[in-house]
Structure 1
């Protein structure tokens, strides 16, 4: 981001209300004298969840000098529900104040175009930095230190006055449980995500028999382990368990690890993951070391035994990985790291935050949450049963090509071969029948179902927002939803038909330079949905500038309220430290999905900021 010769006053914070402030409202005027970091996020977004965890140590380091405010800017309709947002703030243990901005008022004032976006406001109320994506913690530390030094000298840093405290949370036996598995003794193993532990439940699904994990966030192995928001649990086939000496594999999501659990001793060991998150540009190959414990994972969300190995829904890289417990081998199974919906050979397919897995022998079923899709793999090919793409969602039954889900997180194979879908943001259990290619609804008013398993012919569901395990589907019953379609509610960017110049602005931060030691330091990929709005300029180049050509079906069409399509832009830039014997490398990356409206006379230039440390 380039520097300017004038200062920009930060717009005031607007929204429906505040959370995590003890009932108080905040304004930039209230926070004058402190450094304010605005985090524009939405609770479905895995990158946004990464940023919340990145910011925890930054908030602790700078104390009262830095105030972080999460500006919740929803993508899905469910995320506009204030109760759902309140639950998400607790679920993800958000440690700072959150502004509820369902109409994207503050989002628009700060010209945000991607989740997540960060903006820094200095103690005098001026906007001094803006950056998109994750991985900015070190850059933020540098900015904050410089601002503290500058405004201490000026006498404008003022940390007097009491800030609102984080709100007290209710507690229950289970707290935002995530996934469930059936154990060999017919009990259930549930990931009690907000309690950072695993729980064995009796066959009634209610009685707690034992808890594995001490209930605090951590990554300790052994007989008194710690987890960090664990999700998927996969029971290994008995012959495999005997060979490897453990029975269950656990997706330790926020630790970015796979953990092995011996059910008899309760002892855990880490089998994959360093604890650091993988970051790269969309389409970049993932280099996995020979020792899986030296690999960087990214939010493993669910696990399933399929094709003679454990398949991992690697939500953070928009891929499926696989782990062979016997060979102790980790590799990419499907997907390219590009976030979108594309079928085909599994090595070339695109996923969007896969979060639920279930196998029925020949097929692996996938809840692809950000594309609101149900997909499957068979014979090395990826197929989509239900789903339109990143920005189309809803609640509609009927033929699969017209049916809609809203951010599903779980799947299970029913005894008759049909597929139960935890349609999480519709608070429903839906069913897809592969024989008739139709979708129906099995149960409604299920509070954010996130995982399911079949036990004794009955569907057992993790009702995450109700903090319980239930059996919500009466045998033989179903309903029919004739609901509405939705698209992500962001104001479209108006662009002119014909040639449009796309420019990605990137400046290496102070003390760094572009790094081309291992190939081109920059990469830009552009596509569109639907593809026919982009008549030229699609594809991948190493330049951060590109001329594209936009068009719509008919020049006589009236501009639509929601826009004519979505321009999908992915960019990255590699930089390294200028000084030092072993200069550190840094990768800045961002994916934008920008709704566009093609209007004669509109601007013919689109400028996007990849990363900036000063305005």
Structure 2
């Protein structure tokens, strides 16, 4: 049986003793090596994360208010258990801890030792340990801040009464911050002088780590303008008072559209979950779409029987009332006459019409993975880069599947999704050649070259790659870069000369020019898979249970039937003989094939719960705030005769 309890735990009076924290070293402790004994007397919240994961970044933001409110009793420990090979680099991890302004100790767990000791199966996973060192909760996915806000005071009261709670400062020690004009820049946009694409214009850069935009001269050193106060937050206003929160993608509207709209540039303001507009003449910043609430659940009763899209993909009629989720990149689509948005946080592609304010779901049903076909049936995984080609198709850097995808837009504006490079959530590498065998590693940016081929900011390989649609092959244009997050064709090249590429080198805090070589490199450093342990399972009947207990003060919303749901599929599909598909409930019996040696079970669990107090009939009042809890798991499995015949996962498990 697969258990969610730590594999090396001790049980005392029915309680589970927390396993020791084991890894390569610690960050944010001033060099001190921590252990559970040093944290005894505190409420410890283990946050299993990896810095590629957008859901993990959401959780970091969810936890900040709790960390501040309970700073004298709560110690959050980030356990960084990497998915990609690059994330195991300690230098890259240190940069990520600084970039995301993590203000708690972080354990570097490159071999997944602590991950395995706690039987974690998903990023993110939260484990709550009480002041005596026992596990009291296992939580998967996002949206648990409300439940923790109830649980933590309960633990404080209990352990103060016992005398086992110790108040005082925690072990966090801030590292030295990076200084410079730019700090972890995200994306860049060429601004032509007076609308002339060949003139020496300037470059608008999202200075993500400084929470602002910077306009640079073509030497990439001279600062011409800044937009935003540089203080993290949300505020519309002029160039000095406006505020952003980790802005990312940028796109320039056509002049005729910009004149009518009243702004020139659309900005993906990622952590504010909004689209913003910038008027280059006045420096004014405005909000175009998004209410600032991370998109998890449609307004109204908590339902789990759909993916949150209306039949035509349209969302709320007022764009300022639409919930978005980590918009990461934007591009103007000539064919759609709209801005296309990579909505990384919900694994979908949206569109925004500046003329009407309409926000629609363009592609993706919200499930995380790689699946092609009609737009409303396709799967994406944290799409982070967009570019339009001459035919009006949209190329997508789909980061978590290490894939290059394409939205093929027909004349009637119907959309079909295709994959050019990439295999799935757990496959990556650094390999050129035929696209079917080529591998990327967490790409974040994409652009279309003058010859119609596609350049890719292959972020975790530190490279710029090229996909040639005419030959179906992948090659390498440049390597040795430090987490390139965007790549753009330089429009200011002299006629007759080969254009340069402009690369945003995030971890060196700079933009650089990179020539396009006439003869691209051919690299084969192999294909890899995420090094997560495979669960041994037996062929035949297989019982799956997802544990969920609503937080104190909430109740499962059963007004319209069972408020829980499981979606199950597999890679390869032949692994599942029966039991796949979508149905209510959090228990399911599958049948696994004995003819498939290994594969991946894809499991999505949802549960809807609403706040009390209940009325005298024990029913949820109509005005109650409702919450959707959801987690996607990809469980690698190995078929063997003595394998497990059941699996227990925690959506929200309480011990």
Report the counterpart of residue 470 of structure 2 in structure 1: 435
Contact 2:137 2:652 in 1 (8 A): no
The correspondence of residues 119-518 of structure 1 with structure 2, limited to 5 A, is 119-160=127-168, 163-185=171-193, 186-223=201-238, 224-280=241-297, 284-286=307-309, 288-306=315-333, 307-361=336-390, 362-378=392-408, 379=410, 380-456=415-491, 457-518=499-560
Describe the shift of the 1:282–1:478 C-alpha distance in structure 2 as closer, same or farther (beyond 3 A): farther
Contact 1:283 1:338 in 2 (8 A): no
**Once structures 1 and 2 are overlaid, which stretch shifts more, 536-545 or 156-165?**
156-165
- The root-mean-square deviation of aligned C-alpha atoms, in Å, is 1.7
Structure 1 residue 551 displacement after superposition: 2.0
Report the counterpart of residue 561 of structure 1 in structure 2: none
Structure 1 residue 603 displacement after superposition: 1.5
Q: Deviations over 1:397-432 (max 9, x none)?
A: 001111000000000011111000000000000000
Q: Deviations over 1:535-563 (max 9, x none)?
A: 21111111211111112536xx6xxxxxx
Contact 2:71 2:169 in 1 (8 A): no
Counterpart check, 1:112 vs 2:129 = no
Distance in 2, Cα, partners of 1:95 & 1:309: 39
**Once structures 1 and 2 are overlaid, which stretch shifts more, 1-10 or 351-360?**
1-10
Contact 1:206 1:469 in 2 (8 A): no
Report the counterpart of residue 605 of structure 1 in structure 2: 646
Distance in 2, Cα, partners of 1:475 & 1:485: 25
Structure 1 residue 475 displacement after superposition: 4.0
Contact 1:372 1:390 in 2 (8 A): yes
Counterpart check, 1:93 vs 2:101 = yes
Structure 1 residue 316 displacement after superposition: 0.5
Contact 2:147 2:552 in 1 (8 A): no
Q: Deviations over 1:325-348 (max 9, x none)?
A: 011111111110011111111122
Structure 1 residue 510 displacement after superposition: 2.7
Structure 1 residue 588 displacement after superposition: 1.4
Q: Secondary structure at the match of 1:148?
A: helix
Contact 1:353 1:369 in 2 (8 A): yes
Distance in 1, Cα, partners of 2:138 & 2:585: 22
Report the counterpart of residue 617 of structure 2 in structure 1: none
Distance in 2, Cα, partners of 1:368 & 1:473: 25
Distance in 2, Cα, partners of 1:225 & 1:219: 7
Q: Secondary structure at the match of 2:139?
A: strand
Describe the shift of the 1:162–1:545 C-alpha distance in structure 2 as closer, same or farther (beyond 3 A): closer
Contact 1:414 1:459 in 2 (8 A): no
Q: Deviations over 1:439-483 (max 9, x none)?
A: 000001011111121123321110111110011234424211011
Structure 1 residue 289 displacement after superposition: 1.2
Q: Secondary structure at the match of 2:328?
A: strand
Report the counterpart of residue 47 of structure 2 in structure 1: 39
**Once structures 1 and 2 are overlaid, which stretch shifts more, 125-134 or 518-527?**
518-527
Distance in 2, Cα, partners of 1:440 & 1:283: 41
Q: Secondary structure at the match of 1:255?
A: coil
Report the counterpart of residue 196 of structure 2 in structure 1: none
**Once structures 1 and 2 are overlaid, which stretch shifts more, 344-353 or 245-254?**
344-353
Contact 2:150 2:551 in 1 (8 A): no
Distance in 2, Cα, partners of 1:161 & 1:589: 34
Superposition TM-score, scaled by structure 2 size: 0.90
Contact 1:446 1:472 in 2 (8 A): no
Distance in 1, Cα, partners of 2:403 & 2:429: 11
Q: Deviations over 1:252-276 (max 9, x none)?
A: 0000000011011111011111111
Contact 1:282 1:336 in 2 (8 A): no
Describe the shift of the 1:275–1:162 C-alpha distance in structure 2 as closer, same or farther (beyond 3 A): closer
Gaps of 5+ in 1: 558-563
Describe the shift of the 1:161–1:432 C-alpha distance in structure 2 as closer, same or farther (beyond 3 A): closer
Distance in 2, Cα, partners of 1:387 & 1:6: 46
Contact 1:282 1:339 in 2 (8 A): no
Structure 1 residue 367 displacement after superposition: 0.3
Q: Deviations over 1:89-138 (max 9, x none)?
A: 11111111100001111111111111100011111111111100000001
Distance in 1, Cα, partners of 2:25 & 2:309: 41
Q: Secondary structure at the match of 1:500?
A: strand
